[in-house]
Structure 1
Amino acid sequence: MRKWHRWLSVFFGIFIFFIATTGVLSQWAVLWPVPEPTAAELAAQTPPPGFECPEGWRCSPPRTETGPRSLVGFFHHLHSGEEFGPAGTAISVLSGLALMFFALSGVWIYVRMWLDRRRRDAKDRWFWK
């Protein structure tokens, strides 16, 4: 199990790091503060031609995102691999499966090492050097 864990991590580590980075950037862009529009900007907003606001509703045109928030879609496409076509999506899915494998095999390796230490009556610690 250790051999597979080690060799797969060499290959998939790069992709998992890329996926983690784009995921963080995507969330960072969503959490980026958006300034509230001023009264003059709100007054200048006009609905598209032919649009009538239903009675009793306060209508305004959709906001156009600026700054980092405008990159959310791009980061999502990078994160999911869609930006690189079917091969990118496949690599993204395989990287997700590899991440699940690393989590499970890491726990498996740790438990086996812990049981081995326990069998040898070594100093009982959860973490060791």
Structure 2
Amino acid sequence: MRRWHRWLSVFFAIVMIWVAITGLLHYVVVWWPTGEPTAEQIAAVAPPPGFVCPEGWRCIAPSPEATNNPLRPYLGLFHHLHAGSEGGIWGEIIVMLSGLALVFFTVSGMWVYYQMWRNRKAKGLKKGLFWK
């Protein structure tokens, strides 16, 4: 198990760093502070007079604050990079496998730690959950 944990981590570390960075950039865009919206921006997001949302649909106009965000045009790009969509089907497969790798690394890491703890306990070395 330890060997698989080591070898797979080399590849998936790169992908997970990519996913983490693009996810952070996505939230930087979403949470970027904006000033007060102008009257034109408020009018631009308001539905036209007489508009009625079709039955069974959920119609949401973007908030004026969102239209005032200078980074907002990059939101879709960061989302596609984060999801692997820009890499086609192979990019999406790699990102999906990275998600599965997180589960594998969590379980295998706990298993490796348990084995090391059990071996230290059997040899009578320093007790406790954490050691140096």
Task: Tell me the TM-score normalized by structure 2.
Answer: 0.77
1:107 corresponds to 2:110? yes
TM-fit CA distance, 1:24: 1.2
Change (3 A) 1:46 1:100: closer
Question: Rg bigger for which structure?
Answer: 1
What corresponds to 1:80 in structure 2? 83
1:91 corresponds to 2:94? yes
Change (3 A) 1:35 1:105: same
TM-fit CA distance, 1:20: 1.0
Q: Name stretches of at least 5 consecutive residues in structure 1 with no aligned partner.
A: 55-60
Which residues in structure 2 correspond to 1:58-77 (within 5 Å)? 62=62, 63=64, 64=67, 66-77=69-80
How many residue pairs get aligned? The number is 119
Distance 2:92 2:83 in 1: 6
Distance 2:84 2:27 in 1: 16
1:120 corresponds to 2:127? no
TM-fit CA distance, 1:128: 2.1
Which stretches of structure 1, 4 residues or more, deviate above 6 A after TM superposition? none
What corresponds to 1:12 in structure 2? 12
TM-fit CA distance, 1:53: 4.1
Distance 1:112 1:89 in 2: 34
Distance 1:24 1:31 in 2: 10
What corresponds to 1:57 in structure 2? none
Q: Secondary structure at the match of 1:36?
A: coil
TM-fit CA distance, 1:69: 2.7
Change (3 A) 1:102 1:65: farther
Task: Tell me the TM-score normalized by structure 1.
Answer: 0.79
Distance 2:44 2:29 in 1: 27
Q: Which amino acid aligns with 1:124?
A: K
Kindly report the root-mean-square deviation, in angstroms, between the aligned alpha carbons of the 2 structures.
Answer: 2.4
Kept after mapping to 1: 8 A contact 2:26/2:79: yes
What corresponds to 1:52 in structure 2? 49
Q: Percent identity, aligned pairs only?
A: 48
